[in-house]
Structure 1
Amino acid sequence: MSAPILAKPQLRGLLARRLRIHIMAAFVLSLGCATMYKFGVAEPRKKAYQDFYRRYDSMKDFEEMYQAGVFQYGK
């Protein structure tokens, strides 16, 4: 009874082939993360700023702060 003979592993060009696969995977993963950040964080943040400044009245805000005594000045 003899042990089966294993074929020699191919080592020539192994690093280049593995790097090609890993670089493509990293590119796809980073593109996916950037897209998720844009639509999950950046766009809602821009919309929140637009909504805030659409209704923002700076004079009303100033009057409220003035009445609350926020502003101090020297004599």
Structure 2
Amino acid sequence: LLLGELVPTMHGFLAKHLQFHIVGTFIVSLGTATFCNFAIAEPGKKAYADFYRNYDSMKDFEVKRKAGIFQSAK
């Protein structure tokens, strides 16, 4: 008698909860990807662009050569 009362309330329980969790997971993952893009990737790209905008590799090489970092370049 007790089992017969539970069967109608359990009908579709798994499908309903899976649908809810799949939608929730999709929303959370989309939010996380968006956050990572704007909080991590874009500032990193901007920092690299700012650094290499005025970077002179020959000047940097000469500074390192005079400091004695390179053994083969005198």
Could you list the runs of 5+ residues in structure 1 that have no partner in the other structure? 1-6
* Percent of paired sites with the same residue: 55
Q: CA RMSD in A?
A: 1.8
- For the residues of structure 2 that align with 1:33 and 1:45, how far apart are their CA atoms? 17
Residues 14-63 of structure 1, C-alpha deviations (whole Å, 9 max, x = no match): 00000000000000000000000000000000000000000110010000
- For the residues of structure 2 that align with 1:17 and 1:44, how far apart are their CA atoms? 41
Partner of 1:10: 9
Which amino acid letter does the alignment assign opposite residue 67 of structure 2? A
Which amino acid letter does the alignment assign opposite residue 39 of structure 2? G
Q: TM-score, normalised by structure 1?
A: 0.84
The count of residues paired between Structure 1 and Structure 2 equals: 68
> 5 Å matches for 1:1-75?
10-73=9-72
State the shift of 1:69 in Å: 0.5
Q: TM-score, normalised by structure 2?
A: 0.85
Which amino acid letter does the alignment assign opposite residue 68 of structure 2? G
Could you list the runs of 5+ residues in structure 2 that have no partner in the other structure? 1-5
Structure 1 runs of 4+ off > 6 angstroms? none
- For the residues of structure 2 that align with 1:51 and 1:16, how far apart are their CA atoms? 51
